[in-house]
Amino acid sequence: MTPGPIEEGAKVATGVVEGLKSQPIALALIVMNVIFVGAAAYASHELNVRTTARYAAQDDLIHKLIDQCTKRTFFLAPTLKEPVHEDSHQ
């Protein structure tokens, strides 16, 4: 009877474990690579969160400034009057 996929997988896993037992430095390198990838992913995530928050704050400030500049306030210009001369004799 031919072995099924579970038995074949078990043979491969046993072979890998035996190989790692005979080469502990390979196991250490695998563990260090997994730790490095995890740390890099975490650092990238934190950097993304910080950068997104910074740009959101900048966008809010820019929108606030634009709203202040475009707010329609009615400015009444001063009316012109004849100049007043104190030394004029009427």
Q: Is the pLDDT of residue 85 over 70?
A: no
Contact 16, 22 (CB under 8 A): no
- Rounded to an integer, the average pLDDT of 33-42 is 97
Cα 44 from Cα 52, distance rounded (Å): 12
For residue 74, the model assigns a pLDDT of 59
| pLDDT class of 75 with cuts at 50, 70, 90 | low
Q: Is the pLDDT of residue 14 over 80?
A: yes
**What is the average pLDDT score of the chain?**
84
Residue spans per domain, the chain: 16-70
For residue 1, the model assigns a pLDDT of 52
Contact 26, 20 (CB under 8 A): yes
